Amino acid sequence: MTRALVLGGGGVTGVAWEWGLLAGLAQRGVVLADADLVVGTSAGSVVGAQLCSGRPVRESYEAQLAAPTGEVAARFGWPAVARLVWAGGRTRDAVRARARVGAMAVAARTPSEASRRAVIEARLPARQWPARRLLVTAVDATSGEFVVFNAASGVSLVDAVGASCAVPGVWPPVTIGDRRYVDGGVRSVVNADLAAGAERVVVLAPVTSGFGPMPRLSAQVAALRSVARVAVVSPNRAARAAIGRNVLDPARRAAAARAGFAQAEAVAADVAGVWG
């Protein structure tokens, strides 16, 4: 039996909510850390790398409750969303849409790559790719090509996670070799289709909606369900209130983590039924 855990994007509050949910489920005997495959997009790439490093789930959850030192606050409200929609939502060609978003990201004024890399590096308890199968998503900023990094890609884990977290217009694209990469969420906020082949799949999706010609989570999940057992968890009303409107606000991190932990009680039975 192959089990896959898919961790979607959602900013620093998404990281916190996912860890809260993972810890709350583990407390109830549903241990998603046992996954054979972990797929991480943006915030999910951070959680995936941390989880696969072997760091205890409870410890990772409690770290989200501490003061967010080292995290840089940023705005990701309606203006930022509108820029993404304007850049990528004017064509039905998904690759062209991603390339337009990438061009916007390259032209944007952002913090330096070096300063952003230091933040990503501080988040990761290990610098080497884990033995567990981990897939980290990104998008080539020039071509719009969807890229999936893994241990065999010849790319450092820090750079792969940094690329997956490079929110266009907010954080700088990440340079790897002679290419630059942006957030894997530009292709899909969850990229759940990468779990194809697993028999049991749990998807944690802090954000479920995209824009333009993005693959829809519902369609990805429907395809998975045709051959696998699948559970999808997204923030409930209380969690959405805790997360707030700006997913890049570290001040909301602790509240988002606690909300995820509390939500685990309501979803534990459904997730356990899939996970086995």
Q: What is the model's pLDDT at position 92?
A: 76
Q: What is the model's pLDDT at position 41?
A: 98
Using DSSP's 3-state secondary structure scheme, residue 104 falls into helix
CB 236 within 8 A of CB 266: yes
104 assigned to some structural domain? no
128 assigned to some structural domain? yes
Q: What CA–CA distances, in Å, run from 111 to 183, 220, 252?
A: 16, 34, 22
**Annotated catalytic residue 42:** yes
119 assigned to some structural domain? yes
When pLDDT is averaged across residues 112-141 and rounded to a whole number, the result is 95
Q: Which of 60, 183, 188, 234 is catalytic?
A: 183
96 assigned to some structural domain? no
Residue 166: which domain range?
Answer: 3-72+110-275
CA gap 110, 59 in Å, rounded: 32
101 assigned to some structural domain? no
When pLDDT is averaged across residues 95-101 and rounded to a whole number, the result is 92
Q: Which has more confidence, 73 or 204?
A: 204
Q: What is the pLDDT of residues 245-270, one digit of tens each?
A: 999 999 999 999 999 999 999 999 99
Q: What burial letters (b/e) apply to 27-44, b meaning 16+ CB within 10 Å?
A: beebebbebebbbbbbbb
Q: How confident is the model at residue 80 (pLDDT cuts 50, 70, 90)?
A: low
Concatenating the DSSP letter of every residue in 42-79 gives: THHHHHHHHHHTT--HHHHHHHHHS--TTPPP---SHH
When pLDDT is averaged across residues 205-209 and rounded to a whole number, the result is 93
CATH number for 214:
3.40.1090.10
CB 43 within 8 A of CB 206: yes
Q: How confident is the model at residue 11 (pLDDT cuts 50, 70, 90)?
A: very high
105 assigned to some structural domain? no
Q: What is the model's pLDDT at position 148?
A: 98
> What share of residues in the chain are helix, strand, coil (percent, to 5)?
50, 15, 40
**Annotated catalytic residue 153:** no
CA gap 215, 188 in Å, rounded: 6
Q: What is the model's pLDDT at position 51?
A: 97
136 assigned to some structural domain? yes
In this model, does residue 274 exceed pLDDT 60?
Answer: yes
CB proximity list for 78: less than 8 A, separation 6 or greater = none
Q: How confident is the model at residue 95 (pLDDT cuts 50, 70, 90)?
A: very high
CA gap 276, 274 in Å, rounded: 6
Number of independent structural domains in the chain = 1
When pLDDT is averaged across residues 18-44 and rounded to a whole number, the result is 98
Q: What are the structure tokens assigned to 58, written together?
A: 């409870």
Average pLDDT, the chain: 93
Question: Please, what's the largest Cα pairwise distance for the chain?
Answer: 47
Kindly report the pTM of this predicted structure: 0.94
Q: What is the model's pLDDT at position 84?
A: 62
90 assigned to some structural domain? no
CB 194 within 8 A of CB 40: no
Q: How confident is the model at residue 223 (pLDDT cuts 50, 70, 90)?
A: very high
DSSP designation for 93 = -
